[in-house]
């Protein structure tokens, strides 16, 4: 079985790319897969626009209700939450003329990194999805790398590399990095 895995981390997107937050961006999200935790960066001239995180009604009617979060810095970083994320400019005429975007952000579990295969796992019956997670760990001055293959119901396979001795300085760096992460 040939397997392709990919590492997945939060991505950062500049809304409108080089043109920044402006009119006519309703199709900008097309072709992109957004995940909960990804960051949108809205670049614009302060005083020329703003960014408002609104609900669907606010998006549809171009209104900012109480409780909506407003950004005005001109280089605003907004982390996406799972589900629909709606953003509009509240300057008069801006939203109604297309200065708004709707983003659907998925959970990692919803995306199932990998691919769907037919015919079951290792000759079984049915369809299955597989997903991969790369990992590294330190074990008694040795490093091991591997991949975990799983689907929604169960762990399917764990493949690991041979242990490789590490110089003590590398081990110390890894331990320090792990402590900082906690």
Q: What CATH number should be reported for the domain holding residue 68?
A: 2.60.40.420
Could you give the C-alpha distances from 107 to 3, 86, 88, 113, 125, in angstroms and in order? 22, 17, 23, 11, 28
85 within a domain of the structure (yes/no): yes
- Compute the average pLDDT of residues 100-125: 58
Which among 85, 109, 133 is the end of a domain? 109
The whole-number pLDDT of residue 26 equals: 83
Residue 11 pLDDT level (bands cut at 50, 70, 90): confident
pTM greater than the 0.85 cutoff: no
Q: Three-state DSSP class for 58? A: helix
Question: Are residues 128 and 141 part of one domain?
Answer: yes
- Compute the average pLDDT of residues 9-33: 90
Look at 84-98, 141-155, 164-178 and tell me which has the smallest mean pLDDT: 164-178
The whole-number pLDDT of residue 172 equals: 37
Question: For residues 132 and 114, is the Cβ–Cβ distance under 8 A?
Answer: yes
Question: Are residues 119 and 91 part of one domain?
Answer: no
Mean pLDDT of the chain: 71
Count: domains in the chain = 2
Which among 109, 139, 168 is the end of a domain? 109
Question: Are residues 83 and 54 part of one domain?
Answer: yes
Residue 108 pLDDT level (bands cut at 50, 70, 90): low
Q: Is residue 167 within a helix (H) or strand (E), and if so which, with residue range?
A: none
Question: Are residues 22 and 68 part of one domain?
Answer: yes
Interval 48-101: pLDDT, tens: 999 999 999 999 999 998 889 999 999 999 999 999 999 999 999 999 999 999
DSSP letter (8 states) at residue 123: G
Question: Are residues 77 and 44 part of one domain?
Answer: yes
d(CA 46, CA 91): 12
Asked whether residue 45 carries a pLDDT value surpassing 80, the answer given is yes
- Compute the average pLDDT of residues 150-168: 46
Bridging pattern class, strands 34-35 and 100-106? parallel
Question: Are residues 142 and 62 part of one domain?
Answer: no
Look at 42-51, 84-93, 158-167 and tell me which has the smallest mean pLDDT: 158-167
Question: Are residues 31 and 98 part of one domain?
Answer: yes
The whole-number pLDDT of residue 125 equals: 39
The whole-number pLDDT of residue 67 equals: 86
Supply the range of the domain harboring residue 100.
12-109
Question: Are residues 105 and 20 part of one domain?
Answer: yes
Question: Are residues 138 and 60 part of one domain?
Answer: no
């Amino acid at each position: 079985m040939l397997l392709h895995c990919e590492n997945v981390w939060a991505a950062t997107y500049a809304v409108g790319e080089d043109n920044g937050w402006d009119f006519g961006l309703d199709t900008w999200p097309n072709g992109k897969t957004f995940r909960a935790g990804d960051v949108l960066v809205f670049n614009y001239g302060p005083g020329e626009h703003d960014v408002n995180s609104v609900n669907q009604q606010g998006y549809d009617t171009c209104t900012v209700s109480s409780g909506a979060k407003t950004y005005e810095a001109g280089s605003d970083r907004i982390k996406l939450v799972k589900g629909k994320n709606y953003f509009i400019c509240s300057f008069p005429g801006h939203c109604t003329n297309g200065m708004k975007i709707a983003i659907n952000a998925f959970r990692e579990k919803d995306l199932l990194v990998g691919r769907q295969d037919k015919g079951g796992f290792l000759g079984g019956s049915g369809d299955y999805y597989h997903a991969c997670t790369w990992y590294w760990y330190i074990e008694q001055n040795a490093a091991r790398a591997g991949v975990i293959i799983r689907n929604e119901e169960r762990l399917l396979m764990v493949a690991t590399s041979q242990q490789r001795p590490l110089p003590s300085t590398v081990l110390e760096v890894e331990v320090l990095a792990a402590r900082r992460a906690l």
